[in-house]
């Protein structure tokens, strides 16, 4: 196809980059639009200096490794002569190739060694480029994890497909609403893919984690570091409890046991600046409560109440039966919540990370609107937060038939 007649040129003129700027901001690996002659029409994400100033014979045209694939119609990912991962995807309308989405130009962990095998002297002689510039451009080539390469490849495929649909509209002029992919949808899909990849990289096998902590605890025991041993066991139990992602009710006893371990660890950190007391009657401990509703409140008492005070303070946790309900109170003698934090809570904003509203919502979902979380007091003498649940278990059983800890 004649370069002048290529409809890709018109598409570029219609603000192509602006349309894709949102999704392109999610990657930093090269991506560019090429016509069938190998001329670079638009750099969506710039190529590294090595590719654009050393490898390419002309700065506005792709290297032979790309052009050779035009003839054989070899689309997809490939490794170039210098070991860089690349991608070439056709943009087609009615089986006719209009151009290509290309790019990547990074090393994978498997091909990185090829960076050190590049003949720098030969490049200097062939390209008439300063040796120092070649060395710096090679050193700046990125090595990228395989999952990020796969994500970028999917990004390229999304854009190639969407441009093909755009061209189909402009060329055929039939049904202007033909199957166009939503850019917002693509951005969401890309973010989901990216988050999944990040989550995969953050996942640690729980068995490995707990076995390692237990191993460290045993070493501390044999070295007679009993405080360290106890801290490690507390941390292990705390993590194990927090990893329980089920939505079932736990006993108040198990919640309090978790809080005791949390405060024990914090006590080791704050030393004399933190005191705490827990007074929950045994007859109350067997009632059930959603897991992880007390710890966020205790944590915020520590962050906003105790930490800002030079001399620290005290956190008190106590519970009682009152008028057919169980009231669990978390009190501190700190300075109260800062006004901006308190405003965010009262305005139902959860950006402060407090989790008050989500905790209150969970309690109301289980027990009804008459129960939940309340900020009873927050001033310069301290804060008091209450959690209220019914004495009757779910299903309407009487007070005497509350669930036992062992069940």
The pLDDT score that the predictor gives to residue 245 is 52
For residue 116, give the DSSP letter: G
Q: Is 187 exposed, middle or buried (0-12, 13-18, 19+ CB in 10 A)?
A: middle
Q: DSSP characters for 239-304?
A: HHHHT-----EEEHHHHHHHHHHHHHHHHHHHGGGEEEEEE--HHHHTSEEETTSSHHHHHHIIII
pLDDT in tens for each of the 407 residues of the chain? 444 456 677 767 656 666 776 677 777 899 999 988 889 988 888 899 899 888 887 778 898 888 888 876 667 889 999 999 999 999 888 888 888 999 999 999 888 889 888 888 888 888 888 888 888 899 889 998 888 888 888 888 888 888 888 777 665 554 444 444 455 555 555 565 565 555 554 455 555 566 667 777 777 777 787 888 888 888 888 777 776 655 568 899 999 998 998 898 888 888 899 999 999 999 999 998 988 889 888 988 888 888 888 888 999 999 999 888 999 999 999 888 777 777 666 655 444 445 677 788 888 888 888 899 998 988 888 999 999 999 865 443 333 333 333 32
**H or E element, residue 352:** none
């Amino acid at each position: 196809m004649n370069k002048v007649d290529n409809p890709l040129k018109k598409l570029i003129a219609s603000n192509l980059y602006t349309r894709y700027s949102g999704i392109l901001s999610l990657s930093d690996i090269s991506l560019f639009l090429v016509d069938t002659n190998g001329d670079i029409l638009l750099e969506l994400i710039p190529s590294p200096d090595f590719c654009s100033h050393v490898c390419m014979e002309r700065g506005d045209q792709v290297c032979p490794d790309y052009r050779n694939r035009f003839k054989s119609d070899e689309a997809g990912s490939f490794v170039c002569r210098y070991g860089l991962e690349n991608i070439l995807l056709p943009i087609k309308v009615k089986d006719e190739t209009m151009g290509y989405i290309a790019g990547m130009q990074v090393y994978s962990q498997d091909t990185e060694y090829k960076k050190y095998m590049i003949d720098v002297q030969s490049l200097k002689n062939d390209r008439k480029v300063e040796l120092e510039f070649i060395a710096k451009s090679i050193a700046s080539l990125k090595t990228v994890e395989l999952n990020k390469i796969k994500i970028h490849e999917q990004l390229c495929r999304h854009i190639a497909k969407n441009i093909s649909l755009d061209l189909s509209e402009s060329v055929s002029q039939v049904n202007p609403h033909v199957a166009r992919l939503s850019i917002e949808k693509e951005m969401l899909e890309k973010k989901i893919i990216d988050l999944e990849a990040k989550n995969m990289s953050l996942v640690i096998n729980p068995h490995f984690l707990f076995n390692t902590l237990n191993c460290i605890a045993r070493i501390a025991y044999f070295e007679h570091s009993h405080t360290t041993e106890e801290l490690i066991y507390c941390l292990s139990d705390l993590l194990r409890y927090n990893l329980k992602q089920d939505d079932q009710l736990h006993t108040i006893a198990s919640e309090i046991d978790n809080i005791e371990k949390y405060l024990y660890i914090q006590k080791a950190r704050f030393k004399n600046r933190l005191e705490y007391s827990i007074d929950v009657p045994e007859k109350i401990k067997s009632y059930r409560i959603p897991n992880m509703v007390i710890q966020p409140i205790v944590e915020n008492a520590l962050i906003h109440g105790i930490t800002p005070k030079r001399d620290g303070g005290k956190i008190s946790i106590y519970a009682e039966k009152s008028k057919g309900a169980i009231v669990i109170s978390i009190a501190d003698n700190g300075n109260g919540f800062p006004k901006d934090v308190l405003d965010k809570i009262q305005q139902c904003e959860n950006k402060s990370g407090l989790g008050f509203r989500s905790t209150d919502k969970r309690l109301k979902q289980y027990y009804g609107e008459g129960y939940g979380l309340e900020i009873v007091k927050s001033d310069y003498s301290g804060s008091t937060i209450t959690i209220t649940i019914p004495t009757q278990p779910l299903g309407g059983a009487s007070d005497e038939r509350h669930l036992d800890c062992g069940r």
